[in-house]
Amino acid sequence: MIAIKLITFSILLTSITALPTTDLESRIAHDGDWTCKNTAGDLQFTAAHIQATLKKAPITPGSSGYPHKFNNGYDETSHARIKGYTSIDFRAKPCNKAPTDKTYLMEFPIESAGKFYDAGKKPKADPGPARVIFHYPSKTLCGLVGHESGNTGPLNFCEAR
């Protein structure tokens, strides 16, 4: 009887721990590399590097100023949608909700494989063209965005390839 309960508990525990945190995190884990289109050359990021960057990203700004709020078409003060602004449609549920004073999106630079942006140091003149976007305070991964031309211009959603 004890053996049956132990086996049942083990199976239940295995199935619970195998569930992805979010649909997007599951997709990133299975889709592999991601590409951010950029006129200066497309940017490539592995799923492992995206996850590692998210894990290392603090939830409060460091000396560098990162992470900081990512408004995605909402006014920072009133939280109203800005007219004429096309926001990025993220796939993770909490990432498309209007921000409040307590919940909002944050952006953090993602660098090339093996390198991580140091939020605790003086800001870099060029933090790079790509950002990991996450929901505050849950730290749910929303996605990866990149500037379309060098480190300037609008941010666009990067896609799995």
As annotated, the active-site residues are 68, 107, 147
**3-state secondary structure at position 135:** strand
What does the alpha-carbon distance between residue 130 and residue 48 come to, in Å, rounded to a whole number? 16
What's the angle, vertex CA 74, arms to CA 80 and CA 63, rounded to 5? 130
DSSP per-residue codes, 26-92 = HHHHHH--EEE--TT--EEE-HHHHHHHHHH--SS--TT--SEE--TTB-TTT-PBPTT------SS
